[in-house]
Amino acid sequence: MSDHGVSSTLRQRSRRLLAGAALLALVTATPAQAQTPSPFRIGPSNPLGGEIVSVATGDLNGDGVVDVLATANSANELGIYLGRGDGTFNAKGAVGVDVGPISVAIGDVNRDGHRDAVVGYGGTSISVLLGRGDGTLSPAHDFGPIESSTAHVALADVDGDGCLDVIAGDSTIFHGSCNGTFTVGAKPFGHPTGMAPYAIADLNGDGIGDFVTASTKKNGSVAVVLSRPDGTWRPAKLYQVSAASWATLADVNRDGTPDIVVGGNYGPKAIGGVSVLLGQGGGVFHHRSDRTVGTALSAGAVTDLDGDGKPDVVVVGDNTDRQSASVWVLHGKGNGTLATPAKYGPIAPASGWAKVVTADLNGDTRPDILVTTRTAFTTLMNNTKR
């Protein structure tokens, strides 16, 4: 064979080898080489006329779509946002409330089938705004005063009479009458909790609501308060954790008993941490696991984001630049432990009051994430495959 023929044959073999190698590389490409879409899509910002310090979700106009109420602290208003069913909202204006609203809860306090709102303040009263069923609220009616701040409010039937009651501030009870009015009760226990939100559930199986709350006045502890059938309360039991500024309840190990997920900041650099305390039954808990998140956390929530039947933890906090916030997702392993945090964001502007709630905002059965920033709230729409 001539030199020209040999060269031609070698070139053909070389082209075939290169083509084969390219095909092999394409077939054996690892997932890391492909562009993986984010499981959450950050939606548009929804502004309010003042600094937002709390949000609550519920169907205010009876259309089956989640709506949002947000407290505007500096504007002394409660903003109303009606959901469109696609994760966006129609701002319906605001209702004036007392000075310095801090928290809001949604529930049917007068049993007329419409969602009502209860607002807590840095002051010593609560406001009730009855829902009309069309997305509007009646003017605020105040109850109180009490001895301490009503900063955080939660709704639950804690005395077993079938009416929603309010737990507010340093654990004062406002007993509901099922008609939208409340009677101020005594504090259930003397332990000072500070300005931490409450989580309520039946922890000991007696059919009456008990509650847990983080103690911001005793760094690194969570208080468990059990109710008695006669309407009194057992002394609070404290559990030490690495950090505590918020707490919530969920069955994270799927044994049918509520567990505590608590989070906050610890140390001089305000490192974020999340702890899980597993319920043992009877209102007793056992410390199971801790996770460091690495930022100043201000709020958290628990839900099954990816549909695997294992509750996940969502937390929010400011980034180190203090100009923006981010969301961290800690996927649950189903045994009371949590995976390494995955970060989503940034979301601007930052707010030391940042809050997070989860709800299905677009009707696709996936829980979405709603996060407050300084003067607005933003959604992270859940795109995870199920």
The answer to whether residues 15 and 7 touch, using CB atoms and an 8 Å cutoff, is no
Q: Which of the given ranges, 47-56, 76-85, 374-383, has the highest pLDDT on average?
A: 76-85
* pLDDT for 270: 72
Report the distance separating Cα 234 and Cα 225, nearest Å. Answer: 6
Contact (CB, 8 A) for 142 and 98 = yes
| Average pLDDT over the chain, rounded to an integer | 84
- State the pLDDT at residue 194: 53
Closest listed residue to residue 217, CA positions, set 149, 280, 116, 155? 149
Q: How far is CA 149 from the centre of its chain?
A: 22
CA distance 185 to 69: 27
16-52 burial, b if ≥16 CB within 10 A, otherwise e? Answer: eeeeeeeeeeeeeeeeeeeeeeebbebbeebebebbb
Closest listed residue to residue 330, CA positions, set 371, 368, 290: 290
Q: Is the pLDDT of residue 187 over 60?
A: yes
Q: How far apart are CA 376 and CA 362, in angstroms?
A: 19
Percent of the chain surpassing pLDDT 70: 83
Q: Tell me, what's the pLDDT at 24?
A: 37
Instruction: Give the pLDDT of residue 208.
Output: 85
Contacts of 6 (CB under 8 A, 6+ apart): none
**What pLDDT, on the 0 to 100 scale, is given for residue 169?**
76
Whole-angstrom distance, CA of residue 181 vs CA of residue 128: 8
Cβ within 8 Å of residue 61, ≥6 positions away: 67, 82, 133, 134, 135
pLDDT of 147 above 80: no
* pLDDT value for 243: 83
Q: Between 10 and 318, whose confidence is greater?
A: 318
- The single-letter code of the amino acid at 33 is Q
Q: Provide the pLDDT confidence category of residue 3 given band limits of 50, 70 and 90.
A: very low
Which residues lie closer than 8 Å to 256 by C-beta, 6 or more apart? Answer: none
The pLDDT, as a whole number, for residue 325 is: 85
**pLDDT surpassing 50 at residue 226:** yes
Question: Of 222, 383, 229, which Cα lies nearest the Cα of 306?
Answer: 383
Cα dihedral 272, 212, 196, 236 sign:
negative
Contacts (Cβ under 8 Å, ≥6 apart) of 53: 71, 73, 101, 102, 103, 353, 355, 372
User: Residue 13, class by beta-carbon neighbours within 10 Å (0-12 exposed, 13-18 middle, 19+ buried)?
Assistant: exposed
**Residue 6 is inside which H or E element, if any?**
helix 3-27
The pair of structure tokens assigned to 363 is: 């009707």
Q: Tell me, rounded to whole angstroms, the distance of Cα 125 from its chain centroid.
A: 25
> What confidence score (pLDDT) does residue 197 get?
78
Question: How many Å apart are CA 305 and CA 136, to the nearest integer?
Answer: 31
Higher per-residue pLDDT: 148 or 102:
102
Residue 31 has pLDDT above 60, yes or no: no
pLDDT above 70 (res 351): no
Which has more confidence, 123 or 279?
279
**pLDDT above 80 (res 214):** yes
Evaluate whether 260 touches 222 at the Cβ level (below 8 Å): yes
- Residue 8 in this model has a pLDDT that exceeds 90: no
Q: Is the pLDDT of residue 176 over 80?
A: yes
Q: Is the pLDDT reported for residue 56 higher than 90?
A: yes
Could you read off the pLDDT of 245-265 as tens digits, one per residue?
A: 889 999 999 999 999 999 988
- Range with top average pLDDT, 61-65, 156-160, 322-326: 61-65
Q: What is the mean pLDDT of residues 27-32?
A: 39
Average pLDDT of the segment spanning 17-46:
57
| Residue 231, pLDDT score | 66
Chain Cα centroid distance, residue 82: 19
Residues forming beta bridges with residue 81, ordered by sequence position = 68, 91
**What's the average model confidence in pLDDT over 6-24?**
44
Residue 175: C-alpha distances to residues 162, 181, 330 (Å): 11, 8, 37
**Least confident residue range of 173-187, 298-312, 339-353:** 339-353
> Which amino acid makes up residue 85?
G
From first CA to last CA, the distance across the chain in angstroms is 62
Instruction: Calculate mean pLDDT across residues 30-50.
Output: 72
Give the pLDDT band of residue 190 (cuts 50, 70, 90).
low
